[in-house]
Structure formats: C-alpha cells, structure tokens
A and B are shown apart, each in its own frame.
Chain A
Amino acid sequence: MGKREVAYAAFCGVCWLAVVGAGHAWFASGPGLSWFGLPVSLVWTVGWVGASFFALLAFHLTRGRP
C-alpha cells in the first residue's frame, strides 16, 4: 500500500472510531436537537456518511498521484 492508501485507511478507521467510540460520550449526554431540529445522533451519522463519501471521492479524483 502507498501513502495515500494508508492515509485513506486511517481516515476510515478514525471515522469508525468517531461513530462508535468518541460519539458515545456525546450521545450519552442526551437526545439533543441540532441543525434543522434534527437529533444530534442523526446529524452525526449523516455527517459520517458525507465525510466518507468526500474522502473516497478525493481519493478517487487524485488517483495516479504520489
């Protein structure tokens, strides 16, 4: 694996930890509402989907670069 692959894999790992690890403390604080009146837990998870999408998109668009 090259540096880009390692960086991308690390990003996915951090995303995963964010959802099931660090997110725990935030969620455990209660059922707060966030943007547009949506629950924090939903915004957090959708944010994760978005971050994953843009990370892979960036990875794909920069293919072939060192």
Chain B
Amino acid sequence: MTRGAVILAVSLGYLAISLIVGMWPSKKSTDSAAGFVAGDRGLGLVVMYFITGATVFSAFAFLGGPGWAYKKGAAAFYILGYGALGMVPLYFLGPRAARLGRRYGFVTQAEMVASRFGDVRLAGVMAVVSVAAFVPYLALQMKGAGYVLEALTEGALPEWAGALLTYAVVLVYVLKSGVLGVGWTNTLQGVFMMVLAWGLGLYLPTKLYGGVGPMFAKIAAERPELLSAPGLSSSGEPWSFLAYGSAVTVSILGFCLWPHLFMKSFSAKSEDTLRRTVVLYPTFQIFLVPLFFIGFCGVFFTPAPDQPDQILPHMLMHMDLPSVVVGLFCAGALAASMSSGDAMVHAAASIAVRDGYITAGGRTLSADAERRAIRILVVAVMAAGYAFAVLYQGSLVTLLLATYGAVVQFFPAVVLGLCVRRLTARGVLSGLVVGTAVMLLFTLWPDLRPVPVHAGLYGLLPNLGLAWALSPRGEDARVAAFFAVADGD
C-alpha cells in the first residue's frame, strides 16, 4: 500500500469505530424529546466529563491551537486562561438549572429563560442568535476535518470531500442516537485525543530539537517575541494586554453560555455529578499544553505551511514518520473535529425546534413529530455549516473568537436571570437585541472600536445597562415560584 492509502485506511477505520460506538446507545433512551435531547437526564460522571471536555477540545484546539502558537506564540495561552475559569459558573448555576429542568421539563436554556421572564420572544431571539453562532462554529470543525484529510492524503481527498465524509458519519449517529451517541463517541474520542496529543507533543520536539527545553531555548534566543506574553497579533505586531485580557474575559463569560454546554445541565444524572464534572474540567485543559509544543516546533520548520492552522499536518507530511503514526494523528484530528461538531449540530437542531418553533412560535408537537423535526433540522444545520466551511477562507481561532462575542450576550438572561430576581423581560430582551447589534457592528467593522477590546465586551456593556435600567424593582408570584424551585426550597 502507498503511504497515502495507509493514512486513509487508518482514518476510515477510526470513522467506522466512531460510527459503531455512536450507534450503539440508540436503544438506551426513550422516544421522548428529553430522551433524544437530554438523555433522559441520566448521564453519569465519566460521560459528562468527556462530553464537556471533548466538546471543547475541538478542531480549533487541535489545529487552531498549534497554529496560533506557531504564528502568534504566547497569544495561544489565552485558551488555557479562559478554560480554567470558563466552566465555574456552571458549578453554581448548573444545579439550579437542573432542578428547574426536572420540575418544568426544560431541555434547553432558552426554554428556561422564557419561563423565568414569562416572555416567549426571548426564546425566539436566543434561538436565532444561537443557531447563527453555531453555524460558523460548526463550519470551523468541518474545515478542520477537511484540512487534515486533504493535507495528509496529499490532496487525494480534497478538503470538501474530507469534511463531507467525516460529517456523514456524524450525521448518522446523531440522527440515530441523539445525545447518547454524542456522549459515547466523545468518551472514545476524548481518550484517543489525550493519548495522541501527549504522544505527538513530546515526540516532535524531541525529534526536531532534542527535547522541549532545547526547543524553547532556541526560540528564546532567535524569536524571543513569540515567548513574551501576550504574544503577537494577526499582523505580527505585539498583541496588547487589553486585547488579550478582553479575549480571556469574553471567553470566560461566554464559555458555559454556549447552549450545547449549558444544556448538559439538563442531562446530568444528579446535581453532584454536575458539580464534579465542573471541578474536574480544568484537567482537560492541560491536554492543550502538548498541542502548543507542536505549534512551537514548527517555528523553524521549512518549508513553511500555506496557512498557520495547517502547521501540524504539514510537519507530519514533511517528516520521515511511519504512515501508521501519521494516520493515527489524522484520526485524532478527526476525533477532535467530530467530538465538537456532533454536540453543536445536535444542540442547534434541538434549539431551533424547541425554542424557535415550539416555545417562541407557540406550536405544539407530539413526541414523535418533535423528534422527527429535530432530525430534519440536524440535516439542515449540517448543510448550512458545510456551505460555510467550503466558502470561508479565514483563521479558525479568529472565527471562534467572533462567535464567542455573540454567545456572551446571553449573560444577563441566563446567569443573572438565575440569580437576580429584579430583572424583567423588557430589560433583558432590549439588552440582548441592542448588545447583539453592537457586537455585530464592531465585529464587522473592528476599526470603529475606540480601544482594541473584544467586540463582545462592547455589546455586553449596553446589554447589562439596559437589562438593569429597564427592570423596575418588584417581584411577582411567578418569579417567586421560579426561584423557589431553583433554590431547592
């Protein structure tokens, strides 16, 4: 067999295993929406740990992380910075949401928010913003899978075909098994990625420089600007701490507000399972460190890749490595892409149906019809993500940062909505609409920003201000009953 054929065979083998693991739990949940979307609220610690960890440890981490370390140096460490605290709000909010979910039957965060504020329009706006943010994030995962397969098969499988093949597998197991398929494949993929990240992260510096220490010593001597925090910007100039700090802040605030993560509050078997998942989560972040090593390995590598995000597959293809090792890396990158993409497409479809059609649209559907509608939307969301992936040519991490700006606008509705009784629908809805519009303005025209702070923070300021200013003091019986359930009274 040729080198390309071996690599392709290993990758296809991995896709086949993922498909089997993803199909296996299809009979383990009920036919209800709670079964398909929330796994009948019965996920244990192991699956919860991997479903949250592997969902975040995505194509963005596997390709964008090394790409940033290679091109922008210490700027990549912002990913570790926000990951450390990003899940903490869920430690406090998750159990409250879980109690409300059990009492009222919520399986999405917008359903909960609409009930909290007594206004279904909130669910509609949140559904639109969520799906709009999910499509580019999903596209990012597809691009990652396509990049890797194209690079490692030396163009035999073009980017569009690689993305299509990988996500055809995801489509099958998400349609068949819902969140349980996502959970069990993420467990497989999480373990696989961890082993591979550390293996390659230690092997490549040793092979190219004689070790991790000698590699950094060379970079410190010849490219010191890469190791001085906060690293470099896209233009190659030193990144400002204001921009670095605001990227960390927006990502911390927006992290657990991503609907596919927050919705897992409704999936956990118990409140303690949820808390333990959050406590253990930073251990998953440490697996990003070897991926940064890989990126730094590429600093002196010749020839240079066409795009920074391709540094890892590019190095593997230009080094004298066994084909099976390269094939395993390829499978690992596919795992990273799939483990995030599957959760996103599942969440986006569930949100579009539950929040957009049923809650905001005021429609009712039977359990069968609801499950069927979610499946149709799974196909539609995946098609939209695929179209975006084929057309978008920019950086993976830059795209991710832009989508965080949209999701962080949920902060007043979700975080404050679960803790502050004073907020009302008028204030939160006005804040959400204005905040999203401001964020979009500064994302599309970044030169308009007075100071180089993340566009999401510019949106969050008027969002918070309006939410507070348009919420008069006072509390009605409905809000009191809602908080009584959340508090566990």
Contact = CB atoms under 8 A, between A and B. Distances in A.
A37 B240 CA distance: 25
Contacts of B212: 36-38
Contacts of A16: 85, 248-249, 252
B314 interface: no
Contacts of B285: 49
Interface in A11-49: 12, 15-16, 19-21, 23-24, 27-28, 30-33, 36-42, 44-46, 48-49
B282 A52 contact: yes
Contact of A37 (B74, B81, B217, B292): B217
Contact of A38 (B92, B216, B249): B216
Interface stretch (B114-122, B271-279, B375-383, B408-416): B271-279
A-side interface size class: 20 to 34
Contact of A31 (B80, B83, B226, B283): B226
B77 interface: yes
A49 B227 contact: no
B248 A20 contact: yes
Contact of B276 (A20, A46, A60): A60
Contact of A20 (B220, B225, B244): B244
B115 to A, nearest CB: 24
Secondary structure type dominating chain B contacts? helix
A60 B279 contact: yes
Contacts of A36: 212-213
A7 B47 CA distance: 31
A15 B282 CA distance: 14
B80 A57 contact: no
Given A19-B81, A19-B248, A36-B213, A42 B91 contact: no
Nearest to A60: B279
B217 A49 contact: no
B73 to A, nearest CB: 9
Contact of A45 (B77, B92, B213, B220): B77
Secondary structure type dominating chain A contacts? helix
Interface residues of B, number: 42
B241 interface: yes
Contact of A56 (B83, B91, B213, B219): B91
B213 A37 contact: yes
Given A37-B213, A49-B80, A20 B241 contact: yes
Given A42-B289, A46-B289, A49-B285, A33 B220 contact: yes
A60 B225 CA distance: 40
Given A19-B81, A46-B289, A41 B279 contact: no
B289 A31 contact: no
Contact of B275 (A24, A31, A37, A60): A60
A31 B225 CA distance: 7
A24 B80 CA distance: 16
B203 to A, nearest CB: 17
Interface string B37-50: 00000000000000
Given A49-B285, A56-B91, A31 B244 contact: no
Contacts of A27: 74, 228-230
Contacts of B286: 46, 49
A49 B228 contact: no
21 contacts: A16-B249, A16-B252, A20-B81, A23-B229, A31-B219, A31-B227, A37-B211, A37-B214, A38-B212, A39-B216, A41-B77, A41-B231, A42-B289, A42-B292, A44-B229, A45-B81, A49-B80, A49-B83, A53-B283, A56-B88, A60-B279
Interface of A: 5, 12, 15-16, 19-21, 23-24, 27-28, 30-33, 36-42, 44-46, 48-50, 52-53, 56-57, 60
Interface of B: 74, 77, 80-81, 83-85, 88, 91-92, 211-214, 216-217, 219-220, 224-231, 241, 244-245, 248-249, 252, 275-276, 278-279, 282-283, 285-286, 289, 292
